[in-house]
Structure 1
Amino acid sequence: MNRKRMKRNNSKKNNNKMNNDEKISLKLPRDTRQLLNDNIENIGLKLNKYIKFVEKKGKEEVQKRTNNGMFRLSSAQKKLLDQITIRNRKMIIELQQAGYEIKTALFKPLWRMTIGLGVPSVRETSMLFHHIYGIPYIPASMIKGVVRNYIITEKFRGGDQKAEEAALQDEGFCDIFGCPKNSVYKESRQGKIIFFDAFPIDPVNIEWDIMNVHYQKYYNGNEYPTDSQNPNPVFFLTIKDTQFYFVIGIKRENEKIKSGVFAGEKILDLTFDYLKETLENYGLGAKTAVGYGFMKEENLENFL
């Protein structure tokens, strides 16, 4: 009798396990699924390609939120991050030897930061990961764009012209970021400042956060904002307690700006000061209006 009961219990356990496996499924070929065995080291690949589906009320839905543990760097990625840091240091030395002037800074989010929230994803929200390394980073184009917007807002808003039009008529602004034909130089010019991608310094801490839409029907234009509506939580990824290494440089001599709002200022020094101001006062990434993305400067000597 005991043996029969044991067999029945084991069969029930196996059936329950099969049922659980059916409730959470992966849309991958069987041999690929067995080979991977949930051990993907590239976080970006894991988030965007290794998608689990959950069966709810007879319908399959994407498992939008997963355990925070899946976003921890593997030992291989930690070594890769160290190699990226070493390579960045060598790059700076080689650029300086080639006649470039370089300035660097280390910044850390005051609270949380989210980069690439609007990147297309089946999970509703996403995060920007380097397409090769699979780690979160801040692209040079984003850094340049946010510093540019900050300068336009702080120095050229409020006049008779539109802020950006006024900025394009300023020599210093065009020297930093470049300009089109309809500018102070009457010709298209490339900016003199070079912005580099900002990579994190180990460790990289990625965690889920939540924004809760309380009045979804109201925002859709269907009903008034009443307490009878059910909140609709949306999960998204954030970075916290992670230092990023920022680098900017100039190929030619760090000359003074001749005229305009920034007359007398050195181009690289001015840009570097505004980079720091931007990260501290303007923020970086999404949801800065509610406190995300603001950063504080860290001691660079400890890093070097």
Structure 2
Amino acid sequence: MKVIKGLEVAFEEEYSNLSLAFYKLHGIREGFLSGGNAQLKKEKFLDSLIKNLDAEAIEKGVYFLENSIKSATSGYVSQNIKATIGYRFITGMGYPSPVENGMLFHHVYGVPYIHGESVKGLVRYVYLLENFPDMFEEPENFRYKIKDLEEGEYKEDEDLQNEYSLIFGNKKCEGSIIFFDAYPTKLTKDNLVIDIMNPHYGEYYKSQGKNPALDWDKPNPIFFLTLEGVEFCFTVGFDPMRLDEEKGKEKLGKVVSCLRGGLEMFGLGGKRRKGYGWFEVV
């Protein structure tokens, strides 16, 4: 039991890594403090997690992540835009966690961030919407035309095919535009907000409609962690050794335009139909 007592002393310290605390340490700590009761309320879990964070260490994590991404852009011609969360934001909800819904944190610095692949996906969607509107007007042919684009075989407009391949790549070549991870420019405890989903008719959904949806069914509140009021920095760039600088800047301008529109119109992350994930571009 000496090991457990030693851990209890260690857990009296504030958490310096939000990711490690959220997914590992805090669940163990709360288990000790409650006499081993693992069925703690999720709201209490999240509330005490936020209170026990080391604010100064979180700021340092943001600083180191920012420097890491800036270092990664060295040698590239890059452009960044800053955008603030309009309502609330969450990404990585599907990750298993002690409170059922997860969040995406940087595995080293413990800071919430947005993966570059997600940014690329948003830009790609807006680009398709603006340049291939017929795809969305004919949903039955959508997957076939996308397949042609991805294979570099879109014959209806070869100029657009070439531009698409240059920016996003296809199965034959990689794209020339780099989409870097987006990072928060500042993060405090106040930016971490507990939200709730309160699904009804649990038995109805579990039984896939076999049991009736009854008004007296017990709601199932689900508490989860979100971000609010955080400004993110988004960076895109290209390698001037691979792409002519004039052409690269032209394509970069189109990408940034799509990114701006996508952040404000469609957003990123989960629960976008509920108003989450949209941004106000600075």
TM-score, normalized by length of structure 1?
Answer: 0.74
2:169 — aligned with what? 178
1:61 equivalent in alignment to 2:39: yes
> Does the CA-based 8 Å contact 1:53-1:63 persist in structure 2?
no
Residue 164 (structure 1) shift: 1.8
2:157 — aligned with what? none
> Does the CA-based 8 Å contact 1:54-1:63 persist in structure 2?
no
In the TM superposition, 1:50-89 aligns within 5 A as: 50=25, 51=27, 52-53=30-31, 60-65=38-43, 66-68=45-47, 70-71=49-50, 72=53, 74-86=55-67, 88-89=69-70
Q: Distance in 2 between matches of 1:150 and 1:219?
A: 34
1:292 equivalent in alignment to 2:276: yes
2:111 — aligned with what? 135
Computed over aligned residues only, the root mean square deviation of the Cα atoms, in angstroms, reads 2.8
What code does the residue aligned with 1:253 have?
D
Higher mean Cα deviation, 168-177 or 226-235? Answer: 168-177
> Does the CA-based 8 Å contact 2:17-2:57 persist in structure 1?
no
What code does the residue aligned with 1:35 have?
A
In the TM superposition, 1:151-166 aligns within 5 A as: 151-154=127-130, 155=132, 156-159=135-138, 160-162=141-143, 163-166=145-148
> Does the CA-based 8 Å contact 1:254-1:267 persist in structure 2?
no
Change in CA separation of 1:85 and 1:256 when aligned onto 2, cut-off 3 Å: closer
Give the paired residue count.
Answer: 251
Higher strand share: 1
Residue 191 (structure 1) shift: 0.4
Aligned counterpart in structure 1 of residue 213 of structure 2, from 200, 213, 225: 225
> Does the CA-based 8 Å contact 2:122-2:262 persist in structure 1?
yes
Q: Distance in 2 between matches of 1:208 and 1:269?
A: 37
1:34 — aligned with what? 9
> Does the CA-based 8 Å contact 2:14-2:54 persist in structure 1?
no
1:275 — aligned with what? 259
> Does the CA-based 8 Å contact 1:68-1:206 persist in structure 2?
no
SS of equivalent residue, structure 1 residue 231: coil
Q: Distance in 1 between matches of 2:80 and 2:64?
A: 18
Q: Distance in 1 between matches of 2:148 and 2:274?
A: 29
Which runs of no fewer than 5 residues in structure 2 stay unpaired?
155-160
Residue 190 (structure 1) shift: 0.7
1:211 equivalent in alignment to 2:197: yes
Q: Distance in 2 between matches of 1:75 and 1:147?
A: 34
SS of equivalent residue, structure 2 residue 89: coil
In the TM superposition, 1:87-166 aligns within 5 A as: 88-89=69-70, 92=73, 94-95=74-75, 100-154=76-130, 155=132, 156-159=135-138, 160-162=141-143, 163-166=145-148
Q: Distance in 2 between matches of 1:55 and 1:77?
A: 24
SS of equivalent residue, structure 2 residue 232: strand
Change in CA separation of 1:189 and 1:228 when aligned onto 2, cut-off 3 Å: same
Q: Percent identity among equivalent residues?
A: 29
What code does the residue aligned with 1:77 have?
I
What code does the residue aligned with 2:268 have?
L
SS of equivalent residue, structure 1 residue 125: coil
Higher relative contact order (CA 8 A, sep 6+): 2
Which one has a bigger Cα radius of gyration?
1
TM-score, normalized by length of structure 2?
Answer: 0.79
SS of equivalent residue, structure 2 residue 211: coil
Change in CA separation of 1:166 and 1:73 when aligned onto 2, cut-off 3 Å: farther
Higher mean Cα deviation, 79-88 or 241-250? Answer: 79-88
